[in-house]
């Protein structure tokens, strides 16, 4: 429901962070701090970075995800 009520921001996109902030103000957010690499796949550059990372670190090496 909060996402539906969140106004679009930059570029006309609904920012999940805005909805999460509203939820946090009501004291209803659970978070987890993780170790590892994070990618912003909301645009081509981040998606390509993530794809290249997976190719170099998993596909070429045979490591499990």
Please write the tens of the pLDDT for every residue from 12-60: 888 888 888 888 888 888 888 889 899 999 899 999 999 999 999 998 8
Collapse the DSSP code of 37 into the 3-class scheme (helix H, G, I; strand E, B; otherwise coil) and give the result. Answer: coil
Alpha-carbon span 22 to 11, nearest angstrom: 20
pTM across the whole model: 0.52
| Those residues with Cβ within 8 angstroms of residue 18's Cβ, 6 or more apart along the chain or in another chain | 6, 7, 9
CB 6 within 8 A of CB 14: yes
């Amino acid at each position: 429901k909060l996402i539906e009520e969140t106004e679009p921001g930059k570029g006309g996109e609904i920012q999940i962070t805005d909805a999460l902030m509203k939820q946090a103000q009501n004291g209803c957010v659970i978070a987890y701090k993780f170790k590892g690499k994070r990618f912003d796949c909301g645009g081509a550059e981040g998606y390509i970075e993530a794809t290249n990372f997976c190719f170099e670190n998993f596909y070429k090496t045979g490591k499990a995800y």
